[in-house]
Amino acid sequence: MKSRSATEWREFWRTRGERELGGVLAEYEPCATRVATLLGSRAPREALVAELARIREHELHLAPSPARDAEVAERVLTWFEASEGSFTLAATDGLARAGVVHTAHGDVPTPAFMPVGTKGSVKSVDPDELRALGASIVLGNAYHLHFRPGEELIAELGGLHAFTAWDGPILTDSGGFQVFSLRDTLLSADDDGVTFRSVYDGRAERFTPELAARIQEQLGSDIAMCLDICAPAGVTRDDLELAVRRTTQWAERQRDLPRAPGQLRFAITQGGLDPELRTRSSEELVPLGFDGYAIGGLSVGEERAPMFEATALAASLLPAEKPRYFMGIGDPEGVIEVIARGVDMFDCVLPTRTARTGSALTWEGRLNLRNARFARDAGPLDEGCPCPACTRFTRAYIRHLVNQQEILGLRLLSLHNLRFLIDLVAAARRAIERGGFETWRADALSRLTRQPLER
């Protein structure tokens, strides 16, 4: 915890604590502010609890309740530590949040869209370009990097930051999604781990929570994800329940394993669309005190309305003072909807995958550049976009590049699509900060859906 003066603590509590902890000190009124300041004083925990008991008995003339004093002290101290740690919540508007995730390689303003560099590269885009597009964090994947080129080789060459020449924050996924989403490669799963065929050479391989943590420690990412069990949409409730149970057991095993210097570790909540299992998963994982929490097991093929409903529930069950990460959403409307439900971070291959199909994300919807109507179109991909594709090249030229399978076409579309999502999320952040998120959201959604999207 940072050292603060009594005045600073009082101010910190007044501006954030009261709101975020919702009246936890109400029973100590009218001494609540003094109690909060006291709890921030860095005195030993036992002395703080004893002082709470003294105030309760001698100043407020209440019956002694040592258990309650200890519980309140614990909640407030945990909040102080966490709010000084991995995340600062800067503003809220409805359920939407603007904040900053603090990592060993720099701050990540949230909401944050994380471009995906599965194999250590955001396809066709170099790190300087990513930086210029406004990306503050990129995602790597423990599954793919483990098999090619291997975490030991990457560690030998200075870790993933040095290896990829990206010196900003990196989040690594554990591989759980790959193992469980590539169903035809899954061989068996048990309480200890999971056995599957590698997509690279078909050999039987085994992942355990310990191995996933070890790979990410070697890679040296800033945020490591727990190995979890991501059940696909439509599995039986028994399977979903098993996924929740093992995900918790595996998170318990991973929590205290060795980490790279300054590495944060996020747990992943599961439970599909089942409210009871979602609740159980969060209630089991939150007390373990991870640095952040992901909402996993959604966006895996279910309908959108129930998915957003499950997102709202899942986010509401997570602690306000920790970052929340929705795994695998990247279409403009979806991004706006999860931000509206209190999500801070998300990732998706959509911008670069869409580019590979010759399509651009724009405020007119998704444009397929192969369409003949762009043959003589001298306008930019998206009016007003400051990206390298829109400032220099026409739709007609990019269409030509796409049709001729020129690499430049793929690159320009990737740069534009990434910039579109990064700018969209930055605009959401500004709207949250000025308290106008709902108006912005309604306007953005109506612009995005004004014309039917081309598929």
Residues with catalytic annotation? Answer: 173, 347
Cβ partners under 8 Å of residue 143, min gap 6: 173, 174, 175, 178, 179, 207
Shortest Å, Cβ 84 to Zn ion: 39
Shortest Å, Cβ 40 to Zn ion: 47
Q: CA 207, CA 202: separation in Å to the nearest integer?
A: 15
User: Hey, what long-range contacts does 428-432 have (CB within 8 A, 24 or more apart)?
Assistant: 428/96, 428/111, 428/335, 428/336, 428/339, 429/98, 429/109, 429/110, 429/111, 431/93, 432/91, 432/92, 432/93, 432/96, 432/97, 432/98, 432/111, 432/339
Shortest Å, Cβ 354 to Zn ion: 13
Q: Please report, for residues 73, 76, 89, 381, the alpha-carbon distance to residue 41 in angstroms, rounded to integers and kept in the order given.
A: 12, 12, 22, 56
Shortest Å, Cβ 110 to Zn ion: 23
Cβ atoms 299, 327 nearer than 8 A: yes
Nearer to Zn ion, 197 or 353 (CB): 353
Query: Total residues contacting Zn ion (rule CB under 5 A)?
Result: 5
Could you give phi then psi for residue 167, rounded to 5 degrees? -95, 5
Shortest Å, Cβ 351 to Zn ion: 11
The packing angle between helices 209-219 and 237-255, to 10°, is 50
String marking each residue 277-296 x if it binds Zn ion according to CB under 5 A: --------------------
- In the block, tokens 């003294």 appear at 54
Nearer to Zn ion, 138 or 387 (CB): 387
Which 293-352 positions form the footprint of Zn ion (CB under 5 A)?
A: none
Nearer to Zn ion, 318 or 385 (CB): 385
Residue 288 half-sphere exposure toward CB, CA atoms < 13 A: 25
Which 62-101 positions form the footprint of Zn ion (CB under 5 A)?
A: none
Could you give phi then psi for residue 271, rounded to 5 degrees? 120, 0
Nearer to Zn ion, 291 or 382 (CB): 382
Look up residue 407 and give its amino acid.
I
Cβ partners under 8 Å of residue 111, min gap 6: 96, 97, 98, 335, 339, 343, 344, 345, 346, 425, 428, 429, 432
Cβ partners under 8 Å of residue 21, min gap 6: 75, 76, 79
Q: CA 130, CA 422: separation in Å to the nearest integer?
A: 10
Which 395-424 positions form the footprint of Zn ion (CB under 5 A)?
A: 416
Shortest Å, Cβ 427 to Zn ion: 14
Nearer to Zn ion, 264 or 390 (CB): 390
Q: How far is CA 401 from the centre of its chain?
A: 34
Nearer to Zn ion, 329 or 385 (CB): 385
Of 154, 163, 160, 182, which is closest to residue 172 (Cα–Cα)? 160
Shortest Å, Cβ 420 to Zn ion: 6
Nearer to Zn ion, 59 or 128 (CB): 128
Nearer to Zn ion, 81 or 383 (CB): 383
Q: With the CA atoms of 144, 149, 150 and 151 taken in that order, what torsion angle do they form, in degrees rounded to the nearest 10?
A: -90
> Which token pair is 130?
């990513």
Shortest Å, Cβ 122 to Zn ion: 16
Q: CA 435, CA 343: separation in Å to the nearest integer?
A: 17
Which 377-396 positions form the footprint of Zn ion (CB under 5 A)?
A: 385, 387, 389-390
Which residues of this protein are in contact with Zn ion, per CB under 5 A? Answer: 385, 387, 389-390, 416
